[in-house]
Amino acid sequence: MSARLIDGKAIAADIRADLREQVQRLPVQPGLATVLVGTRPDSVTYVNMKHRACAEVGVRSVRVELPESVSEAELVGRVRELNTDPQVHGILVQLPLPPHIDEERVLAQVSLEKDVDGFHPVNIGRLAMKNRDPLFVPCTPLGCIELLRHSGTAIAGRQAVVLGRSNIVGLPVALLLLRENATVTVCHSRTRDIAAVVRQADILVAAIGKPEYVQADWLRPGVTVIDVGINQKPDASSARGYRLVGDVDFDACRRVAGQITPVPGGTGPMTIAMLLRNTVRAAQRQVQNG
């Protein structure tokens, strides 16, 4: 048995094509502003990918690049300027921020109507409550749900296990799975016998940040695996000296799982697709509200 691959690249490409058509029908051009502090190579790469994706679907992109030494007050001021710019419909503050800056304070400054990353406290609070709808949902968790939907995986009534409880992925994806009527277990560093808990899963979302952590004998045969991890593993045969792997031992686990996302090419493309979708929806909301 070999698991069917859930091709995030292909699914994201279809979503971008649909968004391109939506953008062409809008009377305004959606605008996304990215705020990058410092020159972390991974953050720079992610921001560049987002701007390329904007160009592909017709979204106007604005770069705000600040030195790592920027003060919290100055950063907050730049975010507030973007809040008042009518041509900017979405604002993304690239994380992580330097240690001297309070991430929560900065994220709270982003206008609720422009919080296309979905991290504003009000949006997260609404996500956590029954019968409340956030304006925007965090992009990677939303991408995970879209991958499940496009793969035909039933969610309601199923046992879902989430490995990791970060604010960026683990907790919001658990809340989304609850909204889809799954029964959800969240595992973390204090969970006893994680392997036994994972074996109960019909759906596994791995977002724990440990390379190839999940082993094949942890899986229930036929489980759907969404691997959010992206880790560097030394590889002398690669020109870069490493290769990218997920939080799941892919080669072994694909022989047990029913469906599985590859790394790379799974959740990564979906994260950017969901960011673009949120930005387009922000522009549509502005048009509707006049």
Tell me which architecture the domain covering 139-269 has in CATH.
3-Layer(aba) Sandwich (3.40)
Catalytic annotation present for 233:
no
| Tens-digit pLDDT profile for residues 243-277 | 999 999 999 999 999 999 999 999 999 999 999 99
Q: How confident is the model at residue 240 (pLDDT cuts 50, 70, 90)?
A: confident
Hey, what CATH class is 27-114 in?
alpha beta
Active-site choice (114, 115, 117, 202): 117
Does 290 score more than 80 pLDDT? Answer: no
Q: Are 216 and 1 in contact (CB under 8 A)?
A: no
Active-site choice (50, 202, 249, 259): 50
- For the ranges 117-121, 142-146, 183-187, 212-216, the lowest mean pLDDT is seen at 117-121
Does 130 score more than 80 pLDDT? Answer: yes
pLDDT reported for residue 179 = 97
The tokens for 287 are 């048009």
Catalytic annotation present for 117:
yes
d(C-alpha 24, C-alpha 91), whole Å:
21
Domain boundaries, the chain: 27-114, 139-269
| Tens-digit pLDDT profile for residues 82-97 | 999 999 999 999 999 9
Q: Residue for token digits 């994201």? A: 12
Does 153 score more than 90 pLDDT? Answer: yes
Q: How far is CA 119 from CA 112, 116, 160, in A?
A: 9, 8, 23
- Sign of the torsion angle spanned by Cα atoms 22, 24, 27, 28: positive
pTM value is 0.95
Does 1 score more than 80 pLDDT? Answer: no
Cα 250 vs. chain centroid, distance in angstroms? 20
The tokens for 110 are 């982003």
| Tens-digit pLDDT profile for residues 21-80 | 999 999 999 999 999 999 999 899 999 999 999 999 999 999 999 999 999 999 999 999
pLDDT reported for residue 236 = 87
The pLDDT of 171-182, averaged and rounded, is 98
Does 280 score more than 80 pLDDT? Answer: yes
pLDDT reported for residue 58 = 98
Q: How confident is the model at residue 238 (pLDDT cuts 50, 70, 90)?
A: confident
Query: Do the domains 27-114 and 139-269 sit in the same CATH topology, yes or no?
Result: yes
pLDDT reported for residue 235 = 86
Does 136 score more than 70 pLDDT? Answer: yes
Residue-wise over 113-141: b if at least 16 C-beta within 10 A, else e?
Answer: bbbbbbbbeebbebbeeeeeebbbbbbbb
pLDDT reported for residue 239 = 86
pLDDT reported for residue 52 = 97
Does 167 score more than 80 pLDDT? Answer: yes
| Tens-digit pLDDT profile for residues 193-219 | 999 999 999 999 999 999 999 999 999
Catalytic annotation present for 115:
no
d(C-alpha 97, C-alpha 151), whole Å:
35
- State the chain's mean pLDDT as an integer: 96
d(C-alpha 210, C-alpha 215), whole Å:
12
Q: Under DSSP, is residue 205 helix (H, G, I), strand (E, B) or coil? A: strand
- Sign of the torsion angle spanned by Cα atoms 71, 75, 80, 82: positive
d(C-alpha 105, C-alpha 101), whole Å:
8
Active-site choice (94, 114, 202, 249): 94
